[in-house]
Structure formats: structure tokens, C-alpha cells
């Protein structure tokens, strides 16, 4: 049976959680400067002023390269659990062949992207 003490503790923890979430959102609004000068609206890259227009077109190769990178990063995450259990009893040739097939399919995707010219910069 739950007592009043249990519900007070739960309520206190909820209030504490809300406060800890709200404080980092409210304090910057209170102490940040309100001045918006001409420099505020200018485009910059890593703190360096830009030269020319910031609305320039980039090659699609940059986006394809980034998407391939993200896809392979996610696929590599599947290899971490396998690396942790590799060498334990019960893993045999079948498991090794499955890992090799997984890496082979990933390699085929890299070869496909390479043949399409994604990795050649112009």
C-alpha cells in the first residue's frame, strides 16, 4: 500500500526534475544581451567573415558523401556487439560467414558509390 510519504517523494522528485530542466532554459533568457546590431545578421563560418555570397550552390557529391558516411557509421555500430561476443563458445563458422557477408555487402555499396563518382571531387 502506498503511503502519503511515497506520493510526496514522487511529487518532490517531479518538481525537482521540472526545475532542473527549466533552469538552463530560463537563465540565459534573463542574462543574455538584447542588442541586435548589424553584425548579428551577417553570415559567418567558424568565426571568419565570408567572402562573397553565402547562397552558393554545392555539388550533390558533398551530400551523397555525407549520407554514405552516416549510413556506414550506423552499420559499423552493428559490428560492436559482434566484436564483444567474438571468441565466446557457441560462435562458429556460420557466424563468421554471416559477418563476412555483412561486410561484403557494405563493400559492394562503397564500390557502387565509387563507380558512380561520388568520391571524385571536381
Residue 54: the pLDDT is 62
Residue range 44-55: average pLDDT? Answer: 67
pLDDT above 70: percentage of residues in the chain: 81
Tally of structural domains, the chain:
2
Residue range 32-47: average pLDDT? Answer: 72
Residues 111 and 64 grouped into a single domain = yes
Structure confidence by residue, pLDDT tens digits, 71-89: 788 778 888 777 777 766 7
Structural domain includes residue 44:
no
Structure confidence by residue, pLDDT tens digits, 64-75: 778 888 878 877
Residue 61: the pLDDT is 74
Which backbone phi and psi does 57 adopt, to 5 degrees?
-85, 135
What single string gives the DSSP state of each residue in 66-78?
A: HHHHHHHHHHHHT
Residues 72 and 110 grouped into a single domain = yes
Structural domain includes residue 54:
no
| β-bridge pairing 48-49 and 44-45 | antiparallel
pLDDT of 45 > 70? The answer is no
Helices marked H in the chain:
4-31, 60-77, 79-85, 93-115
Domain hosting residue 27, numbered range: 1-34
Q: Is residue 119 within 8 Å of 113, Cβ to Cβ?
A: yes
Burial class from Cβ neighbours inside 10 Å (0-12, 13-18, 19+) for residue 65 reads middle
Structural domain includes residue 105:
yes
Q: Is the entire prediction scored with pTM above 0.85?
A: no
Q: Is residue 85 within 8 Å of 91, Cβ to Cβ?
A: yes
pLDDT above 90: percentage of residues in the chain: 16
Residue range 87-101: average pLDDT? Answer: 77
Structural domain includes residue 18:
yes
Residue 19: the pLDDT is 96
Task: Find, among 58, 61, 56, the residue nearest to 121 by Cα.
Answer: 61
User: What residues does 70 pair with on adjacent strands?
Assistant: none
Residues 25 and 67 grouped into a single domain = no
Amino acid at each position: 500500500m502506498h503511503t502519503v510519504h511515497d506520493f510526496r517523494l514522487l511529487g518532490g522528485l517531479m518538481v525537482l526534475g521540472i526545475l532542473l530542466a527549466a533552469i538552463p532554459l530560463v537563465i540565459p533568457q534573463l542574462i543574455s544581451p538584447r542588442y541586435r546590431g548589424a553584425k548579428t545578421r551577417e553570415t559567418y563560418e567558424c568565426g571568419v567573415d565570408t567572402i562573397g555570397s553565402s547562397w552558393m550552390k554545392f555539388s550533390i557529391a558533398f551530400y551523397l558523401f555525407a549520407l554514405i558516411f552516416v549510413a556506414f557509421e550506423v552499420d559499423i555500430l552493428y559490428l560492436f556487439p559482434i566484436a564483444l561476443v567474438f571468441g565466446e563458445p557457441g560462435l562458429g563458422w556460420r557466424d563468421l560467414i554471416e559477418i563476412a557477408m555483412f561486410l561484403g555487402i557494405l563493400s559492394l555499396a562503397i564500390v557502387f558509390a565509387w563507380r558512380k563518382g561520388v568520391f571524385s571531387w571536381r
